[in-house]
Amino acid sequence: MLSVVVEELALDGWRVVSPSRRYVPLPATDDAAVPPPRWSRGRRKDRVGAGKAIWVEAHWDRPRELATKVEKALTAPAELLVAWVHESYRRSVLGVVEPLLTATAPVVEVRSLVDLAAVPDEPEPVLFGHPTQQVLLGSVSELAATRPLGHDEIWRGVLYAVERALEGRPSSLHQLGERRPVHGH
């Protein structure tokens, strides 16, 4: 679901390690012909050349194994974390990944409103030392309450949170879509 985010970061010069259960190949790019990303207003964030996306097979129920695979794929501590992990694995996965981050790395965390008992008023980060942009996903679109939240709405919202994180903005919440209304019988 976040393959567009991975692709855009790679096009912007980032070396992206993408843990996922399924491999989603990204198109190869020519270093000399890399256009500025659609979402970053033409900034290259001081990166030189095209980035790279590296897939790492991951299972959230095996967080230590995930962290070991990610660490092998990294060439230096990570400068940004974008995470979409099922709520029941959230603390364990983010906890084992934290040592792989730079001390100042911002975090963008995607969470499902369906998994939350109540919509929080402010971010509830797991990694307290890192400014966190939390993206809360509803199940129905804000644009049309009769349809589910769309992939393009999700990746655009996550990229907006990534841009805020990279600009050094303080922690904040970003809600995309609404919870599906509950109807009585």
Between CA 62 and CA 41 the distance in angstroms is 38
pLDDT at res. 52: 86
pLDDT at res. 50: 66
Instruction: Confirm whether pTM is higher than 0.75.
Output: yes
The residue to which tokens 């609404």 are assigned = 178
Answer yes or no: is pLDDT of 67 > 60: yes
Q: Which two tokens stand for residue 42?
A: 């033409």
- The pLDDT tens digits of the residues spanning 49-59 come to 568 889 999 89
All domains in the chain, ordered by first residue: 3-176 (3.40.50.720)
Which of 58, 65, 53 minimizes the C-alpha distance to 6?
Answer: 53
Which of 77, 75, 76, 95 minimizes the C-alpha distance to 85?
Answer: 95
